[in-house]
Structure 1
Amino acid sequence: MKLCIFCSANNNIDPDFFVMAEELGKWAAVNGHEIVFGGHDAGLMHSVSKAAKENGGRVIGVVPHKIEEMGKLSPYLDVHIPTENLTDRKELMMAESDGFIVLPGGIGTLDELFTVAAATTLSYNKKPIILYNMKGFWSSLIACLDDLQEKNMVRGEWRQYIKVANTLDEVVLEVRG
């Protein structure tokens, strides 16, 4: 599978997240999965792509021109797909991927998650979405989604299209379906 990884490009975050991202990248590569990601050379993006590449995996970067202009292009790309902007990047990442794994991240990661989830609610996308709740990082978001569900603000049951995984083993089970 081509697994799209949405995650932080920040370096000043919990060090355990880097270790867990590396474990995911290694697992993906060893099991023949390709990584599709935003092509940045920092943060969890760097960790997962480096681990995948160092373990024989194929890494596809879908990279907005701004990242290249800032000199932040990952050195671990087998395939480099340039885009004009973030909207184009999300569209290409959805098209290039067979499933999505969401690691800790900020506004950009939330934007990517909710773009894919919204597309799923309207049947534009039927690919698995896995929210990797590393060390409870996404617990407040999960509570928010549960609250929205309770208030009938979510079409269907959100847990039908966004699966929550708290460990790499749970991610693996969701990927295998």
Structure 2
Amino acid sequence: MNEAREIANVCVYCGSSPGHDPAFQQAAERFGRILAENGVGLVYGGGNLGLMGAVARAAIEAGGRVVGIIPGFLAKREHMLEAVQELLVVDDMHTRKRLMFEKADAFVAFPGGIGTLEELVEQLTWAQLGRHDKPVLIADLAGFWAPLLGLLDHMRETGFIRREYEARYLVRDRVEDILPALRAAYAATARPRRALPQEF
């Protein structure tokens, strides 16, 4: 059993755009500060735009540790943030996602677009298939993820998410509640952390 039950790093999936509601960027900045204030590192997609840039810059400014992982072809498009303590420029999206998984103890999905949705759903799928037991939390700020949560309920109701293969995730709608929820879920996990196999 893993004796260290404290989360060291949280991976945040979020948009490379700020969205139309300023509250989203404010929430991302607040979460970056919360991570730093609690000595928890941030793992994220390496860009300096949108919510991605907001959460990373806020964490850095508050004295936190940030790991950015970005594919080379996105370095210019997403304005790679070079101020992070550890910046990994990788060959492709698959390598980026694997490293983000390996370096994080838990995952949070803030508002974002198709890429954020894909990253979130991939983690839910891997958890559902028993490939990892790290906490996954959906930050449903201002009801942003309500359509997805409704779809997941619909999948259960129509028999496509079976009870024995439940998609395990947490939902919080306040930024201040995210880290406590992740910590509690992480501490409650009885079995050792599992890593993804070479082929996933």
Q: TM-score, normalised by structure 1?
A: 0.94
Q: Tell me the residue number matched to 1:13.
A: 20
Deviations 1:73-118 (A, max 9, x none): 0133110112111122111111110000100011000110011111
Contact 1:4 1:93 in 2 (8 A): yes
Q: Percent identity?
A: 32
Which secondary structure state, in structure 1, belongs to the residue aligned with residue 75 of structure 2?
A: helix
Tell me whether 52-61 or 3-12 shows the greater mean CA deviation. Answer: 3-12
Shift of 1:38: 0.3
CA RMSD, 1 decimal:
1.3
CA distance in 2, matches of 1:54, 1:164: 27
Is residue 166 of structure 2 the alignment partner of residue 157 of structure 1? yes
Using a 3 Å threshold, how does the CA distance of structure 1 residues 71 and 146 change in structure 2: closer, same or farther?
closer
CA distance in 1, matches of 2:94, 2:132: 16
CA distance in 2, matches of 1:140, 1:69: 32
Deviations 1:7-26 (A, max 9, x none): 00013431110001000000
Using a 3 Å threshold, how does the CA distance of structure 1 residues 170 and 71 change in structure 2: closer, same or farther?
closer
Contact 1:49 1:76 in 2 (8 A): no
CA distance in 1, matches of 2:159, 2:88: 39
Q: Tell me the residue number matched to 2:119.
A: 112
CA distance in 2, matches of 1:146, 1:12: 26
Shift of 1:71: 6.6
Aligned pairs (5 A) from 1:1-177: 1-70=8-77, 72-155=79-162, 156-158=165-167, 161-177=168-184
Work out which of the two has the higher radius of gyration on C-alpha atoms and give 1 or 2. 2
Q: Tell me the residue number matched to 2:192.
A: none
Contact 2:18 2:24 in 1 (8 A): no
CA distance in 1, matches of 2:159, 2:69: 35
CA distance in 2, matches of 1:105, 1:134: 11
Which secondary structure state, in structure 2, belongs to the residue aligned with residue 80 of structure 1?
A: strand
Contact 2:49 2:78 in 1 (8 A): no
Structure 2 residue runs without a partner (length 5+):
1-7, 185-200
CA distance in 1, matches of 2:177, 2:19: 26
Amino acid at match of 1:68: A
Which secondary structure state, in structure 2, belongs to the residue aligned with residue 131 of structure 1?
A: strand
Query: Size of the alignment, in residue pairs?
Result: 175
CA distance in 1, matches of 2:84, 2:41: 11
CA distance in 1, matches of 2:59, 2:41: 8
Shift of 1:122: 1.3
CA distance in 1, matches of 2:94, 2:102: 13
Amino acid at match of 1:17: F
| Runs of 4+, deviation exceeding 2 Å | 155-158
Shift of 1:70: 3.4
